[in-house]
Amino acid sequence: MLNSLFSSTTIPVLEQVVNFSQARHQVLAGNIANLDTPGYRTRDLSPDVFSAQLKKVLADQQRASSLPGPGASASGSSGWTQARLSEVSQGLETLVRHDEVNVGVEQQVTELAKNQMQHNLALSIMTSQFRLLQAAVSERA
């Protein structure tokens, strides 16, 4: 019951986005630290692949919940969604791109800034959702 409390909001999705942008930040910071290392190849976590995987998981979840199931309780479907969504974050290992192209410092810094913007956005929305849930629970707006 308590798990389905969160699955009615967008908190699981945003959780995955925040996890992804944190992991990507580490990779990009490593790139910038190794700018002068000879023979270093820049790595990146592809955000396009991540959002495609997320989209697939969400579409599967919607199809599953729209099917009329006799025992498809809310807790069951939300637990399955959590498992699928965490699969996305575990699959982050496969998203690492090893570029042959020598990407310069401007690109790395820009990717870092874009990642930061996405991270802050997802975090702010998640915070406001939590605040809304707390207001509903405490009956005090």
Contact residues: other proteins, CB under 8 A = 9-10, 13-14, 16-17, 47-48, 51-52, 54-55, 58, 104, 106-107, 110, 113-114, 117-118, 120-122, 124-125, 127-129, 132, 135-136, 139, 141
Distances 46 to 21, 34, 125, 128 between C-alpha atoms, Å = 10, 19, 22, 27
CB of 109 to other proteins, least distance (A): 8
Q: Are 20 and 89 in contact (CB under 8 A)?
A: yes
Q: Find residue 81's DSSP bridge partners.
A: none
CB nearer to other proteins: give 27 or 119. Answer: 119
CB nearer to other proteins: give 75 or 110. Answer: 110
CB nearer to other proteins: give 70 or 141. Answer: 141
CB of 107 to other proteins, least distance (A): 6
Q: How far apart are CA 52 and CA 94, in angstroms?
A: 14
What are the percentages of helix, strand and coil residues in the chain, rounded to 5? 75, 5, 20
